[in-house]
Structure 1
Amino acid sequence: MDAMTPTPLKEHQWLQRMVGAWEIETECVMAPGEPPVTTKSIEQVKPIGDLWVLGEGEGETPCNAHAVSRITLGFDPQKNRFVGTFIASLMPNLWLYDGTLDANGRVLTLDSEGPSFAGDGTLAKYQDIVEWVSDDHRIMKSQVLGADGTWNHFMTANYRRKK
C-alpha cells in the first residue's frame, strides 16, 4: 500500500457495509437487578473516502436526555487493527477504539478504556462488540470488565437499516 495512494483492503471494504441510514433500539441495564430501559435513536453512517466511516447518531438516553454522538472507524494496516473514536454530547471523554475482526468476518470487537461506572475517578476496560446478522441488521453489545475479571454486559443496540 502506497502511503500517498492507499488501496482499500478487505477490512476497509468491511466497514463500508455500515454506510447508510439506521434506526436503533437500545436496551440498557441501569443497575443490577433492574429491568432494562429501552430507547430509540437514529444513525447516519457516511463514508470518508474508501478507508473510513463516520457515524452520526442522535436520540434519547435512558435518563430521558437528548444526546448526539459521533463514531469514526477505520483499519490501520501497520497495526493490523481496526481503530476509531467515539464522542457523545453528554460525555466529557474521548473514547479510543482498538479492535479485531473474527475469522468469519461477522464480529468486530472494539476495545476501549474510560471512566468506571463506580464514579470514583478510576478507569475501566470496555468492549463494544458489533455483530452482523444480515446486511440490514447489526447488533452492538457493550460490556465492562469488572474488578473480579469478568465481563459484565450492560447494553444491547439493534441497528436496522432504514428502507
Structure 2
Amino acid sequence: MRRIAIAGVTASLLTMVQLGPAAETPAAPQPTKEHQLLAQFAGQWKSRAETMPAPGQVPIVCEGTETARMLGGYWLVAEGQGDMLGQPVTSLLTIGYDPAKQKYVGTFICSVAADLWQYEGAMDPSGKKLTLHAEGPSMLDPTKPAKYREVLELKDADHKTFTSFMETDEGKWQPIVTVTYERVK
C-alpha cells in the first residue's frame, strides 16, 4: 500500500514538473483605459439637482452629497444622499466598461422608485463626457415607456454635471434632471 502511495505522489510531482510554468494560474485581467477613465468621476461631492417635471412647471430642487469610488479598478460606484420635498432620497449608480460589448454599462436605483435603470453608452473622444442610454417609464406619464439619454460630464477637476434627457413623442430630447456637483475631497 505504501508503494502505491509513493508512486502516486511521485507521478503527481513529475506531472507538475513537466507542466512547469504553463500550469501556473493565469494573471488576472487588468482594467483597461476605458475603466481608468471612470476614476476621474470618483470622490466626495456636494450636489444640487433640479428636476423639471413638465414644461412650465416649477423645478423641484434636491440638495445633497455623493460618495463615488472605484471598485477593483473596474466599476465606478456612486451613492447619493439628499432631501427632496422633505423626504430623504438615496441613490446608487454603477458604471463600468464591458470589453466584449465595447460599451460602457451601468445601473441606477433610488429609494423613491421601484425601477432598475440599465445603461449602455460611450465616452466621447475627450474622455470627459460619458453618454448613456436607457429605457424606462415616462416622467410625464409613468404608464408609458420612454427613451432616456444621460450625460455625465467632467467640467474640470472639481466640477461635474449629470443631465438626464427624455425623448418626447415628437422625437426631441427634453432635459428632465440636471445635477451639478462640486468636489469636496
> What is residue 58 of structure 2 aligned with on the other side?
35
Larger Rg: 2
What does 1:21-100 correspond to in 2, within 5 Å?
Answer: 21-61=44-84, 63-100=85-122
The AA in structure 1 aligned to 2:31 is: P
SS of residue in 1 equivalent to 2:39 = helix
Unmatched runs of 5 consecutive residues or more in structure 2: 1-25
> What is residue 110 of structure 1 aligned with on the other side?
132
Larger proportion of strand: 1
The AA in structure 2 aligned to 1:10 is: K
C-alpha distance in 2 between matches for 1:84 and 1:120: 22
Match of 1:148 among 140, 157, 170: 170
The AA in structure 2 aligned to 1:22 is: W
SS of residue in 1 equivalent to 2:34 = helix
Larger proportion of helix: 2
> What is residue 12 of structure 1 aligned with on the other side?
35
Moved over 3 A (4+): none
C-alpha distance in 1 between matches for 2:114 and 2:92: 13
Unmatched runs of 5 consecutive residues or more in structure 1: none
TM-score by length of structure 2 reads 0.81
Q: Indicate the RMSD between aligned Cα atoms, in angstroms.
A: 1.6
SS of residue in 2 equivalent to 1:27 = strand
**Is residue 130 from structure 1 mapped to residue 125 from structure 2 by the alignment?**
no
Question: Displacement of 1:120 after TM fit?
Answer: 5.0
Structure 1 vs Structure 2: percent identity of aligned residues? 36
C-alpha distance in 1 between matches for 2:88 and 2:65: 12
C-alpha distance in 2 between matches for 1:4 and 1:127: 37
